[in-house]
């Protein structure tokens, strides 16, 4: 019998980030037994990797309603609704207490390697409907199976970064273990300070991850001579990263863009636009020459570190035996994709959507949280919380509650939903990974992408203003030659 008519008794949840734990809380309220399977050693393991980063959404948007009720029953003291937590504070003041309240429903150190229907691979059709799900797990080197009536995959996208190279593929010389690879959100002012102080850093990306890293690097440069910052984006303009400023309903989010724009205009950060990367040449000392093009110009950027803030993509390998209905472009559920596809829509808000938009051909299986957005960059935690509330209602047989989805997200103050976006703006929007773009990410919100770049030419030259008169390490030239232009200036966006 289909789960659409028979309520689920058990549900496996993959991932113990904010959305996964919220799912468990909603399932418990609905009388469904959850089992949360987390590969990491503790709640919000992925969040811990960017624990130094402060979210731009306040606590009021970061706490799920069912999770709040469960925590309050255990005597939890809620943080100030207007406060802005760091990732570490999100763990310590919310996720760890929530995990404790869920108790034995959460299993840590348990990685899910595959999901299927019991006794039925993907090709098996007759008698498929109504079968339970089997999740193959590995813990301490040993595998075991978990069986449940339904599955919510909230495992996120952290650890699956988009490549730096053009074409969606790694460039020549691009390897994950290269000495210059600094990750998307390095702790520049903390644990990683020595790595960046007095060094040349290239930040690649057009989302809030890139913006955050650029801002802290500029702060480091104020006290550490020789610290050079270069920022490369694929689009013709960085206008979308600057965002809506004072028009943003989240002041901290608007401030990020305003500060970044000022740093670029002052020359503290050198901006290279329309940049596509073709190769990495690693030197013996661990530094790298990044080669590529800006239009018809050949460009080479010398750097000691490269912060790859180009976003993430979902791991679909563990779902190969599940029948999915995914959009061919953004790899999100087919009904959700048109609402979030960065080719056409790059607002920080999204129309309300729930179980009906997230369902797949295999009934009772759902992808929720940032992983449900596939490669799209506009996810906010509040979106994931409403997703799992609706899913839990559907699994309990409450169709009315499942369909009554409500979602109110803060406006970004800048948005484009036009199909007239030019090709580079589209590529730039797709590149945006957002700050904390993971299952554990609270704020993977894409700035609006606008076809109006704010520039006065259709083919603007790259902005390359040398910070504080230092050698920038950026070389520009025609194809086949390299010419150093240490003080190249442009009237576009600078």
Burial of 142 (0-12, 13-18, 19+ CB in 10 A): exposed
Cα 170 to chain centroid, rounded:
19
Domain boundaries defined on the chain: 10-159+312-403, 166-310+455-484
pLDDT at 122: 95
* Exposure letters 220-251 (e unless 16+ CB within 10 A, then b): bbeeeeebbbbbbbbbbbbbbbbbbbeebebe
pLDDT at 465: 27
pLDDT at 348: 54
Note if the pTM is more than 0.85: no
CATH top class, domain 10-159+312-403: alpha beta
Contact 197, 220 (CB under 8 A): yes
DSSP for 154-204, written as a single string:
---STT-BPPSSGGGSPPBT--TT-TTB--SS--TTTTTHHHHTTSEEEEE
Domains 10-159+312-403 and 166-310+455-484 fall in the same CATH topology = yes
Burial of 274 (0-12, 13-18, 19+ CB in 10 A): buried
pLDDT at 195: 98
pLDDT at 92: 98
List the chain pLDDT tens, one digit each, 494 residues: 344 457 999 999 999 999 999 999 999 999 999 999 999 999 999 999 999 998 878 999 999 999 999 999 999 999 999 999 999 999 999 999 999 999 999 999 999 999 999 999 999 999 999 999 999 999 999 999 999 999 999 999 999 999 999 999 999 999 999 999 999 999 999 999 999 999 999 999 998 889 999 999 999 999 999 999 999 999 988 887 886 555 555 555 667 788 999 999 999 999 999 999 999 999 999 999 999 999 889 999 999 999 999 999 999 999 999 999 999 999 999 999 998 888 876 555 677 899 999 999 999 999 999 999 999 987 889 999 999 999 999 999 999 999 998 877 665 433 332 222 233 333 333 333 333 333 333 333 222 222 222 222 223 223 232 333 333 344 434 333 333 323 322 222 22
For helices 18-29 and 381-395, the axis angle rounded to 10 degrees is 30
Rounded alpha-carbon distances, angstroms, from residue 440 to 110, 141, 392: 17, 25, 20
CA torsion, ordered 150, 156, 161, 166, to nearest 10 deg? 70
CATH superfamily of 166-310+455-484: FAD/NAD(P)-binding domain (3.50.50.60)
């Amino acid at each position: 019998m289909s789960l659409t008519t028979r309520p689920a008794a058990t549900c496996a949840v993959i991932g113990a980030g904010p959305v996964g734990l919220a799912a468990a809380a909603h399932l418990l309220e609905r009388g469904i037994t959850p089992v949360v399977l987390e590969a990491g050693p503790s709640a919000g393991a992925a969040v811990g990797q960017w624990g130094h980063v402060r979210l731009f959404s306040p606590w009021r948007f970061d706490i799920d309603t069912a999770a709040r009720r469960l925590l309050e029953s255990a005597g939890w003291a809620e943080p100030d609704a207007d406060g802005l937590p760091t990732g570490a504070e999100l763990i310590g003041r919310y996720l760890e207490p929530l995990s404790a309240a869920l108790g034995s429903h959460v299993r840590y150190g348990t990685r899910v390697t595959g999901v299927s229907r019991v006794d039925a691979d993907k090709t098996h059709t007759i008698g498929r409907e109504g079968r339970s799900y089997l999740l193959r797990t590995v813990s301490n080197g040993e595998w075991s199976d978990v069986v449940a009536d339904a599955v919510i995959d909230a495992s996120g996208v952290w650890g699956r970064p988009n490549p730096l190279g053009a074409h969606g593929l790694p460039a020549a010389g691009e390897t994950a273990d290269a000495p210059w690879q600094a990750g998307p959100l390095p702790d520049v002012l903390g644990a990683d300070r020595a790595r960046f102080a007095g060094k040349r850093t290239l930040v690649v990306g057009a989302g809030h991850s890139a913006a955050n890293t650029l801002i802290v690097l500029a702060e480091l440069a104020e006290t550490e001579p020789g610290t050079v910052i270069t920022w490369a984006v694929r689009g013709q303009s960085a206008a979308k990263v600057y965002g809506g400023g004072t028009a943003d309903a989240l002041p901290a989010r608007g401030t990020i863009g305003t500060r970044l724009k000022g740093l670029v205009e002052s020359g503290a950060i050198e901006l290279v636009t329309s940049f596509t990367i073709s190769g990495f040449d690693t030197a013996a000392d661990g530094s790298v020459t990044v080669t590529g093009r800006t239009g018809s110009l050949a460009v080479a950027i010398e750097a000691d570190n490269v912060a790859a803030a180009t976003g993430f993509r979902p791991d679909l390998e563990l779902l190969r035996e599940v029948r999915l209905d995914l959009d061919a472009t953004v790899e999100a559920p087919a009904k959700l994709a048109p609402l979030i596809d960065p080719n056409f829509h790059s607002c920080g808000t999204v129309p309300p959507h729930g179980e009906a938009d997230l369902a797949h051909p295999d009934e009772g299986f759902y992808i929720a949280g940032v992983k449900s957005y596939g490669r799209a960059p506009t996810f906010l935690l509040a979106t994931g919380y409403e997703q799992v509330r609706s899913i839990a209602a559907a699994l309990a047989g409450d169709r009315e509650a499942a369909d009554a989805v409500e979602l109110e997200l803060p406006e970004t103050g800048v948005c484009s939903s036009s199909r007239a976006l030019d090709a580079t703006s589209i590529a730039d929007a797709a590149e945006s990974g957002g700050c904390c773009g993971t299952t554990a990410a609270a704020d993977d919100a894409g700035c609006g992408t606008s076809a109006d770049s704010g520039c006065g030419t259709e083919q603007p030259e790259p902005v390359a203003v040398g910070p504080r008169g230092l050698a920038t390490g950026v070389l520009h030239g025609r194809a086949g030659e390299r010419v150093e232009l240490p003080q190249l200036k442009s009237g576009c966006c600078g």
